[in-house]
Amino acid sequence: MGIITRSIANNIVTGGKLDGTDGLSGVISASNIENASLTNITALSSSLGDAIESVSTDPVSPSEGQVWYNTTIGVLKGYQLNAAAWAAGGNMGTARRYLAGAGIQTAGLAFGGETTTQVNTTEEYDGSTWGPGGNLGTARKYLAGCGTQTSGLAFGGATYPPMINYNNTEEYGGTSWTAGGNLGTARRLLVGMGTQTAGLGAGGRITTGGIANTEEYDGSTWSPGGNLGNARYLFAGAGTQTAGLVFGGFSNPTTFNSSEEYDGTSWTAGGNINTARLSLAGCGTQTLALGFGGYIYGTGNQNATEEYNGTSWTNSTNLTTARRGLGGAGTQTAGLGFGGGTTVPVANTEEFTGAFLSVKKVTTS
């Protein structure tokens, strides 16, 4: 029933009710309180429903939807969810598509790709602008990449015409590229994930159709890993050598919506993406991945963005520019999409910020 902290007759008002301004504490039934203005009440009867708490400082760990009144500054506040969003970043110096990427949103790496022909250009991103890096030893498109801005890995790819597949591997030290161990299988349109000393390359194309081969890199040599469940190319990947993820892609005549997860030995089925497509980009980890952009035959370029939680994919905020053959880097909550093609190669960069909770003042409009 609560406690009357002051034994003064005028605390009892009409009808035997308590005066809420004079030192009440504890749990007080609403029907027993006279005043609309209350102080020092630590809890109210459940018959009142949800109540707004008065506090002198903001809660350290509020919950989504929680509302409180900060008595120190006289402001009503709430903890709200902010939607995920893509925002424009600095344009690349060289517009291109079918390039590879590595790194994070504030320290990205882009290399190779195609303008009107394949290029060896490397660019580094600092979170706002792109600057030149050291050129690849072999100009090529349709290659894969992984690692960081100062410890990157580039492998596979092709030049055209004529169509020549590469098994070349190159390692980036932050300034220049040097030769690494060759892939066991020369191929194009494969995916990469992991690090420079623990890389993973999967799938791709040699002549017609996709291949299922997976290879693991130890910093000097490639060795066979478990085959993909579905041979595919023009797909996306995320994660590490021992916790990899691939999704989407194509192997004539099939456009895939399936995902596969790698445990360092074998691939198993993951959750399906919502929009089956090819030539998309990815970033993040096996359990916190981001997939964006791409292409659907008969429909065109895509701006769809999806988030993976290790079990299922959910639709998120769309890219501003629909495109295919773009590069990806970063994490699920801080992603980076760059380059790619519309009807022509583009230089656009977009930065993804995942949904997040924040304290907001409650105001009128």
**By the 8 A CB rule, do 139 and 177 touch?**
no
Percentage of residues in the chain having pLDDT higher than 70: 85
Long-range contacts: 353-356, Cβ < 8 Å, 24+?
353/84, 353/85, 353/87, 354/84, 354/307, 354/316, 355/81, 355/82, 355/83, 355/84, 355/316, 356/81, 356/82
Out of 22-31, 38-47, 355-364, the most confident range is 355-364
* Structural domains of the chain in order of their starting residue, each with its CATH number: 3-82 (no CATH), 85-353 (2.120.10.80)
From the list 259, 167, 260, 265, the residue with the least C-alpha distance to 224 is 265
What is the structure's pLDDT at 52?
82
What is the structure's pLDDT at 109?
98
What is the structure's pLDDT at 11?
56
Residue 77's pLDDT band (boundaries 50, 70, 90)?
Answer: confident
What is the structure's pLDDT at 44?
45
Write the pLDDT tens digit of every residue in 83-104.
999 999 999 999 999 999 999 9
Residue 21's pLDDT band (boundaries 50, 70, 90)?
Answer: low
Q: For strands 327-330 and 334-338, give the pairing.
A: antiparallel
For range 338-343, the mean pLDDT: 98
What is the structure's pLDDT at 26?
54
